[in-house]
Structure 1
Amino acid sequence: MTTTPSRPALEVTPFDPRSAPVEQRVAVGRLLRASALYATPDDPPPVPEKEALYLAQQEPDTRSDHVVVWADAKALAWGRLGYDLKQNMHVAHARIVVYPQARRQGLGRRVWAALQEVAAREHRRVIIGGTSSRSPAGEAFARALGAEAALPNRQSQLDLGALDVGLLARWQTRPEGDPYRLHVWQTIPDEYLARMADLMMVMNTAPRGELEMDDWTVTPEMIRAWDAMMDESGEVRWLMATEDTRSGQLDAYTEMFWQPERAVLLHQGATGVRPMARGLGLGKWVKAAMLEHVQAACPQARFVRTNNASVNEAMLGINVALGFSEWATFVEWQLRLP
């Protein structure tokens, strides 16, 4: 009688992308690519080498702990727990990815157990993560862990070829004597940097649902660090902001992100207007101007994707008027630890 030798148990091991060999970073990049292709097969796939670069990037005053399940040189599962060292000291953000053909083997649970140990070590009692309806297994996993759906979002997509150019023109028409002027930047000039950091904190007024998070402070140093990371990766960020020429204050902004290797897709980032400047058409102005701008700057782009909290009726109304339609749902989950 012959017996088949048992396969050794797969271990969850710590992984430091800043010091790991490039081959291991790219292996995790291949895992992320496989997961993206499984969820969105019609999208241009991520580039493993670029994903490897993102793994090693770190914002100021933040830390990320990573773990990987290896099968020889192949990454079957990966997890990251990221947390700030100065703000929202009770919160951490988790992401777990399992190779599509290796799912339903308990790897996600084991990765989560390792991340939970990190959270306990760092005294983080609220863990936040996100799932997309394009990958239903993520939602089932979050529910199985006991997480609550704290902030549902609508993921919307705009076909740039179907834009209403008349609407864009109307939204960019300003009243006579308008005190506002529009800036377009890839890199924010030094003289506007502190004002832009102050404006970005208007996103603290965006809906948070049931997420137990405090307001965030944005600093000029953070913005410059983000700029450096985008320069390193080759990602392009366009930013538009309106300045009140009477005071020099920036009152509204929007941003768009583009990766040359995934040229057909643009990603709409934050759009914010100071509460005291709402009702003046500034949000519509910057959104319309940005769409016109990226069409000229990025002629290969065909679609724009964005996320909006489902309860953010004002911004959803603007996006629907522009032609955005629902593409998926994205839920931010919250798990409270003992």
Structure 2
Amino acid sequence: MTTLLSNPSIFDPPTATPAERLAIARLMADCFVFAYPEDPPLVLEQEAAGLSFVTPGEKTEHVVVWEGGQVLAWGMLEYSLEQNLHLARARLLVHPEVRRRGLGRRVAEHLISQARQAGRTTLTFVTTDRAPAGQPFAEELGAAPAITDRRSQLNLAAVSTELLDAWLSRPAGEAYQLHLWQTYPEAYLERMAQMVMVMNTAPRGELDYDDWKITPETLRTWEQQIHEVGEVRWTAVIEDTQSGELVGYSEIYWTPQRASAVDQGATAVRPSERGRGLGKWLKAALTRQILQQCSGAQFIRTSNANENAAMLGINVAMGFEPFSEQTEWQLHLI
């Protein structure tokens, strides 16, 4: 790579050319293979399409450093226009071949300036120990670690079928019913939005934000985005058939072009229903679904806060082993 001359410039994905969006996707792919060389590579078209996605009621801002047609660095700021108005989330990538040349600092300063202009006083971002330079960079910016997550991996070939059978077995006559959905049924959409908000009870460490509100419109937008990039999502949901309330859910994401890798998303059970084996039921149901429906899947990865002993206990019992560690940092801008 040649000497860096360009300054960060504003980038608008919806009005950019397909080639420009693909250039950012190539940066993402290069950074990913640097951190996760053992994984299937990212799908460039999928990453490029995702650049234009915005959650309802939120705004994103992008900055890019170009050298010719190549992207050397990219940063994104994301924040809500309706809630947690003090907060912005950032993401920053620098190509592995041009790190330690001050480029990340310049992009970070641009993002911080944008956050201040938007009236934000708190900025959060995530680093992983698979890219060790992230931690000293965060400290140099003056950020403080707010919560640390353990990334865990489950080898699907080693999953105990006896364990799955045991966790899927439920007492006769109980009022719970398990659903498996790729698309949320319209009749359940409002209840599903309420269920997703149970994730507000998950540990948040020192992160400074109010509970997030999720709407049916948000859920439908996320579904559309998942469909547009060719990703498959399965959601396991437990319904209390006496009240009609949804009391637990879990989700997995799978891309056929990256068949070996499955991402475990959120898992939540209402506090009033905990201690009844519902988390195990959800996880076992999705694991069996992966084994039956996700051809070529070899492993599942998931994240849990180190302080979330209950969920970590379920994962360890299932066979998940430590894979990496990621830290969410918080930077106060006042």
User: TM-score of the superposition, structure 2-length normalised?
Assistant: 0.98
Structure 2: runs of 5+ lacking an equivalent? none
1:11-70, CA deviations, whole angstroms, 9 ceiling, x for partnerless residues?
111001111111111111111100001111111111222211111111111111000011
Amino acid in structure 2 at the alignment position of 1:232: E
CA contact (8 A) 2:178 2:239 kept: yes
- 2:126 equivalent in structure 1: 130
Amino acid in structure 2 at the alignment position of 1:120: R
2:175 to 175, 179, 188: 179
1:131-164, CA deviations, whole angstroms, 9 ceiling, x for partnerless residues?
1111001111111111111000000000000001
CA contact (8 A) 2:46 2:230 kept: no
1:156-180, CA deviations, whole angstroms, 9 ceiling, x for partnerless residues?
0000000011111111111121111
Tell me the distance in 2 between the aligned counterparts of 1:7 and 1:303: 40
Amino acid in structure 1 at the alignment position of 2:220: R
Amino acid in structure 1 at the alignment position of 2:82: K
SS state of the match for residue 38, structure 1?
Answer: helix
SS state of the match for residue 97, structure 1?
Answer: strand
Tell me the distance in 1 between the aligned counterparts of 2:136 and 2:13: 29
2:216 to 186, 202, 220: 220
1:293-330, CA deviations, whole angstroms, 9 ceiling, x for partnerless residues?
11100121000000000000000000000000000001
Tell me the distance in 2 between the aligned counterparts of 1:265 and 1:72: 33
Structure 1: runs of 5+ lacking an equivalent? 1-5
Tell me the distance in 2 between the aligned counterparts of 1:104 and 1:307: 29
- 1:29 equivalent in structure 2: 25
* TM superposition shift of 1:8: 7.3
- 1:3 equivalent in structure 2: none
* 1:312 counterpart = 2:326: no
Amino acid in structure 2 at the alignment position of 1:176: A
* TM superposition shift of 1:275: 0.6
- 1:90 equivalent in structure 2: 86
Over 3 Å counting, the alpha-carbon distance change for 1:264 and 1:219 in structure 2 is: same
* 1:201 counterpart = 2:197: yes
- 2:253 equivalent in structure 1: 257
- 1:322 equivalent in structure 2: 318
RMSD of aligned residue pairs (Cα, Å): 1.1
Over 3 Å counting, the alpha-carbon distance change for 1:267 and 1:186 in structure 2 is: same
Kindly, what percent of the aligned residue pairs are identical?
Answer: 49
- 1:9 equivalent in structure 2: 5
* 1:109 counterpart = 2:105: yes
* 1:283 counterpart = 2:308: no
Deviating runs (4+, > 2 A) in structure 1?
A: 6-9
Q: Please identify, of 312-321 and 131-140, the stretch whose mean Cα deviation from structure 2 is larger.
A: 131-140
* TM superposition shift of 1:257: 0.4
* TM superposition shift of 1:7: 6.1
- 1:56 equivalent in structure 2: 52
Q: Would you say how many aligned residue pairs link Structure 1 and Structure 2?
A: 333
User: TM-score of the superposition, structure 1-length normalised?
Assistant: 0.97
Amino acid in structure 2 at the alignment position of 1:266: V
1:144 to 129, 140, 145: 140
Tell me the distance in 2 between the aligned counterparts of 1:23 and 1:42: 27
